[in-house]
Chain A
Amino acid sequence: MENAAIIGVGMTRIEANKIRDTFADLAWEAVNKALDDAGMNMDDIDNIVTTSNDFWDGRTISCMAVSDASGAYDKNVSCVEGDGTFGAFYGLIRILSGSYGTTLVTAHSKGSEGISSLITNATFDPIYERALGLDMITGCAMQAGAFMHRTGTTAEQLAMVSVKNHGNARHNPLAQLPMDLTIDDVLNSEMIADPLHKLDCSPVSDGCCAMIIANEERAFQYKRDPVWIKGVAFCSDTYFLGDRDLSQARSLTEAARKAFAMAGIGNPANDIDVMELYDAFTYQELMWLEAMGISADGQAGRDLEEGRFAIDGDLPVNPSGGLLSGHPVIAAGLIRIGEVVKQLRGEAGQYQVKGAQRGVAQGVNGRCGQSHCVWVLDKNK
């Protein structure tokens, strides 16, 4: 893959209800922050990719809401529907194709404007499944139970993910839910759907992220040191939950394998300094770590207990607080990439992972981790 880099990042705060902001306001804020961050203006942006979801936004052609605010007037623009990591991928591809030197990528969602249970119920097949009334939580709860059953991962280990991530969020000024929790706090919180307690689940939030990607030549023309994109891959598993083994994330294994190979990572557990993963639920952080080969199968819980993934551990995971601390759907994956960029630039302030050179961001699309997109970023070219 040719050299390309991220040269600007802008994010809004993640909040439960950004009542004063429309979608366009969010995009305006994030885009301007990204342009300022990069030391660029709109003329320097060759094309734009927005990322949004028609159901979450409650409007067909949801990209319309943010086009103007994203500077798309009189420019080439497209729109990805899926997690922000996929949007960023398309933004990158439009550079690698040789067509554009810089791409501005945005991703947004306002969870406060809809009923998430109904929105995610719409991901279920209308003929065979929808009427049953499942949503993202009950679907993922089934996966959590299957994962715990197969690997022996315990409720306490799941709770530890929540304790760690909410704890990390105390140092992240943009996070929605910084919290000082104990394992018991999590286990005593309301059971939403067995085995997921309230504090095992991420909130549904409002937020927007914008990112500027550039080819090698343009990457050096602006204010920042570029953060290089060393590997990207994505892969989707089957749709029907019963067609696959829910307790394994083989599409993530495949995407990670490809992305790591592109980046020349031979030993992921040792070669990566920081990770921002898609922890929509506590069990997911552990499941994704195992699928990517960071932990041996069934061992992520134990590795967590040993402090491996703590902010001062061997391989900090979600030092920003992750999705558990703030989850604007769609924007979520782009924020993961943005957080890794901050780490590699040494700009993560109080939640900085010391000496981070190489990081991994991961995003998820679809139900129960059907489709994953993995990014490998490096401070060095």
Chain B
Amino acid sequence: MEDIFEGIEPMVYQSRINIPYNWWAGDTASKFLLAIRDERKILGTKCDSCNRVFVPPRKTCPTCFTDNQEWVNVSDVGILEAFTVARRQLAALPGKVPICFGLIKLEGADTALLHYLGEVDPGDIKIGMRVQARFAEERQGKITDIAYFRPI
């Protein structure tokens, strides 16, 4: 069957999926994001059963399945648990490389937050560093209202 296509140029058709999305953040995420936007405070939710504090917050504890009623303040300082430095200009990156990503466990939280690292030379980043949130000047209720975390 292959032979009948001999010499025929394969056509490639360009297309895109262009679907605009509007994701409902929901009340829980909204409270978290608004606290960052309006008060430069980072909040977490605490499970009544296992006492774990979740950042980003969860409405319900994923393992206990109890509604997390309690909101707690979490420090804007934490420890870097993992990181990478993007060197190649991968398509999903929002800016020019190098871009540094990290997982930061803030004091008071039991889970780490995924975010950027800034004001640091990529070669100096180490797991275990203490970092602090730097908030953006103009904040809109998005996760990028935290501009990045920088070493202290």
Contact = CB atoms under 8 A, between A and B. Distances in A.
Chain A in direct contact with chain B (Cβ < 8 angstroms): yes
Interface of A: 19-20, 58, 115, 117-118, 120-121, 126-129, 131-135, 137-138, 141-146, 149, 190-196, 238, 240-243, 246-247
Interface of B: 5, 10, 12, 15, 17, 21, 23, 25, 29, 33, 54-56, 62, 81-88, 90-95, 99, 101-105, 111-116, 122, 127, 142-144
13 contacts: A19-B12, A121-B92, A127-B143, A129-B114, A132-B116, A135-B92, A138-B86, A141-B84, A141-B86, A142-B83, A142-B102, A145-B83, A194-B122
A132 B101 contact: yes
A132 B143 contact: yes
A192 B87 contact: yes
Contacts of B23: 126-127
Contacts of A135: 90-92
A240 B95 CA distance: 23
Given A117-B91, A134-B114, A241-B103, A20 B85 contact: no
A197 to B, nearest CB: 10
A95 to B, nearest CB: 32
Given A146-B82, A194-B122, A132 B115 contact: yes
B88 A246 contact: no
Given A19-B12, A127-B23, A145-B83, A193 B56 contact: no
Given A129-B114, A132-B116, A242-B112, A142 B94 contact: no
A242 B111 contact: yes
B121 to A, nearest CB: 12
Residue from B10, B25, B88, B105 with most neighbouring chain A CB atoms (10 Å): B88
B88 A190 contact: yes
Residue from B54, B87, B105 with most neighbouring chain A CB atoms (10 Å): B87
A245 to B, nearest CB: 8
Contacts, number: 124
Residue from A138, A143, A149, A195 with most neighbouring chain B CB atoms (10 Å): A138
A118 B81 CA distance: 25
A186 to B, nearest CB: 15
B102 to A, nearest CB: 8
Contact of A146 (B10, B12, B56, B81): B81
A145 B82 contact: yes
Given A117-B90, A194-B85, A149 B127 contact: yes
Contacts of A121: 91-92
Nearest to A140: B84
Contact of A133 (B15, B55, B99, B142): B99
Contacts of A137: 86, 90
A142 B99 contact: no
**Which 4 pairs across A and B sit closest by C-beta, in order of nearness?**
A242-B112, A121-B92, A141-B84, A117-B91
Given A138-B84, A138-B86, A141-B84, A118 B92 contact: yes
B145 to A, nearest CB: 11
A238 B25 CA distance: 20
A162 B122 CA distance: 25
Nearest to B94: A133
Contacts of B122: 194
